[in-house]
Structure 1
Amino acid sequence: MKKLIALLLAGFALLGPARAASDVAWDRFPVEKMTDLASLQNGARLFVNYCLNCHSAAFMRYNRLRDIGLTEDQIADNLMFATDRVGETMKVALDPRQAKEWFGGVPPDLTVIARSRAVAGKGSGADYLYTYLRGYYRDDATPTGWNNLAYPNVGMPHVMWELQGQRRARFVEEKDAHDPSKTVLRQAGFEQITPGTLNSLEFDDAVADLVAYLQWMGEPAQNDRARIGVWVLLFLAVFTFFAWRLNAAYWKDVK
């Protein structure tokens, strides 16, 4: 439990809730992805290829991926690069000292990152991650050459840039709504510099798959819980009807 709390705190420190400095509204994550096994499987593939190089998922075992329709052979042949045992957890070999030197901090564990990012009034953790992963743009003023609308001055570079391509953010000056004597910069779209291997719709869909997997990984039983919850509510509705009629029959002769 102490380790889990420490990982959550590390996640808050490095992936913070839009870092408070960003007023960007969070986009809505397409929740239908959570019940699409093909999307979850593609998200697992993207996670292993683009996230697991630096970020671990120390509370998730590879063989748990059977819950999203993968066989152990498929897991071993396509998703396991850091270990040869399907029962191992998703750990990385990145040296924490090197990570701190390269990125300014140790990349947080991502097992429960989606659950820890929810902010009241802004959206769920999945909404934040969906906005964050699609918010990268080129910025020569940062050490990595990348910046992010949802997380200004982010330390993590854009690892999926080959899929999305390189783009530059456009900003316009406008009067501050709270103080008309001042001006603020408002993001007004992106300018594509170089194309990626995916178009914008395909990239958004791929990010949605990845976020769906991150959301699922934080609580693998959530889809089962939702299905069971529906049956529980139906049972309670039927039981309430019979209880009502039984109560009426019991008291009908009582004056």
Structure 2
Amino acid sequence: MKPLIAILALAVLALGPVSLQAAGPAVPLDRVNVDVTNQASLQRGAQLFFNYCVGCHSAQYMRYSRVGDDLGLTENQLIQSMIFTTDEEGELVAPGSLITNAMTAAYGEEAFGIATPDLTLVARVRGQDWLYSFLRSFYLDESRPLGVNNAVFENVGMPHPLWELQGWQEKHVDREGNVRLQVVEAGMLSGPEYDRAIRDLVTFLSYLAEPMQAERQRIGMYVMLFLLVFLGFAYLLKKEYWKDVH
């Protein structure tokens, strides 16, 4: 039985990279360097998320109050800028509620052909570079039901949520197969401004996926400092124990 399990495990590992490669992007991913300790960037990213994303996507493993505390918002600021979901009685949900929305899985499948995914952990599942490239790679495609496609995720079942900011792009492929996206109808933001906005949004999504990462990094620095100091004392102790031997 154990050899059979080992063989099956090796087979899964062997097939894993093939599956990942098949699901890879059609264009190279752009690098993005996010800083989850930048509170201003997190606040701008949160504003984009709650204005453009939360209508279809939830973040059901995070609470509004936690986001407000980490982003340095008062309760009034939190309610006014982030809480738009209502309960069964039509009242805004409490700040301590999980970040959900009114879109059901059945409605998502009817509207987009697939239930809209939760975005709490999307930065860990997809990666920051993938999200940054994906949100900048929508283009017009009349063959798609919603009129748009994505160069990073072909045949994606969602509209371009940020078209008002970016505008509309067209896809061009040269003889070598290189993909180039060109803005044909300008949006509210210039190219660099839109790139910065997407960086802020990816920063917030990265924070959602691991709210403790900034604190973990801070604690990690103290741990490394402690280990270095302990290493010095351990070396001196070793010399003391072995001085008669040498």
Task: State the TM-score, normalizing by the size of structure 2.
Answer: 0.85
* Structure 1 CA distance for aligned equivalents of residues 76 and 239 of structure 2: 59
Superposition pairs of residues 206-225 of structure 1, within 5 angstroms: 206-225=197-216
Correspondent of 1:141 among 143, 152, 155: 143
Correspondent of 2:27 among 5, 24, 27: 24
Q: Aligned to 1:22, what secondary structure does the other structure show?
A: coil
* Structure 1 CA distance for aligned equivalents of residues 109 and 198 of structure 2: 26
* Structure 2 CA distance for aligned equivalents of residues 95 and 219 of structure 1: 25
Which 5+ residue runs of structure 2 have no aligned equivalent? 1-18, 86-91
Q: Aligned to 1:241, what secondary structure does the other structure show?
A: helix
| Structure 1 residue 195 corresponds to structure 2 residue 186 | yes
AA of the residue aligned to 1:95:
T
Q: What's the CA shift for 1:53?
A: 0.2
Q: Is the 8 A contact 1:18 1:128 kept in 2?
A: no
AA of the residue aligned to 1:160:
L
Q: What's the CA shift for 1:254?
A: 4.3
| Structure 1 residue 56 corresponds to structure 2 residue 46 | no
Q: What's the CA shift for 1:145?
A: 0.8
Superposition pairs of residues 95-106 of structure 1, within 5 angstroms: 95-106=104-115
* Structure 2 CA distance for aligned equivalents of residues 24 and 192 of structure 1: 17
Q: Give the equivalent residue in structure 1 for 2:155.
A: 153
* Structure 1 CA distance for aligned equivalents of residues 146 and 172 of structure 2: 19
Correspondent of 1:234 among 225, 229, 245: 225
Deviation track 1:15-65 (CA, whole Å, cap 9, x = no partner) reads x9797263311111223x322110011111111111100101110100011
Q: Give the equivalent residue in structure 2 for 1:72.
A: 75
* Structure 2 CA distance for aligned equivalents of residues 135 and 60 of structure 1: 28
Q: Is the 8 A contact 2:29 2:133 kept in 1?
A: yes
Change (3 A) 1:219 1:150: same
Q: Aligned to 1:131, what secondary structure does the other structure show?
A: helix
RMSD: 1.8
Q: Give the equivalent residue in structure 2 for 1:6.
A: none
* Structure 1 CA distance for aligned equivalents of residues 114 and 181 of structure 2: 29
* Structure 1 CA distance for aligned equivalents of residues 160 and 145 of structure 2: 12
* Structure 1 CA distance for aligned equivalents of residues 27 and 36 of structure 2: 25
Q: Aligned to 2:174, what secondary structure does the other structure show?
A: strand
* Structure 1 CA distance for aligned equivalents of residues 135 and 173 of structure 2: 19
Q: What's the CA shift for 1:207?
A: 0.5
* Structure 1 CA distance for aligned equivalents of residues 150 and 94 of structure 2: 36
* Structure 2 CA distance for aligned equivalents of residues 52 and 19 of structure 1: 30
Q: Is the 8 A contact 2:170 2:184 kept in 1?
A: yes
| Percent pairwise identity | 44
* Structure 1 CA distance for aligned equivalents of residues 167 and 216 of structure 2: 38
**4+ residue runs over 3 A deviation:** 16-19
Superposition pairs of residues 72-151 of structure 1, within 5 angstroms: 72-82=75-85, 83-117=92-126, 125-151=127-153
* Structure 1 CA distance for aligned equivalents of residues 146 and 186 of structure 2: 20
Q: Is the 8 A contact 2:137 2:181 kept in 1?
A: no
Which 5+ residue runs of structure 1 have no aligned equivalent? 1-15, 118-124, 175-184
Q: Aligned to 1:141, what secondary structure does the other structure show?
A: coil
Q: Aligned to 1:173, what secondary structure does the other structure show?
A: coil
What is the number of equivalent residue pairs in this alignment?
221
Q: Is the 8 A contact 1:76 1:84 kept in 2?
A: no
Q: Is the 8 A contact 2:148 2:160 kept in 1?
A: yes
Q: Aligned to 1:147, what secondary structure does the other structure show?
A: strand
AA of the residue aligned to 1:29:
V
* Structure 2 CA distance for aligned equivalents of residues 250 and 77 of structure 1: 66
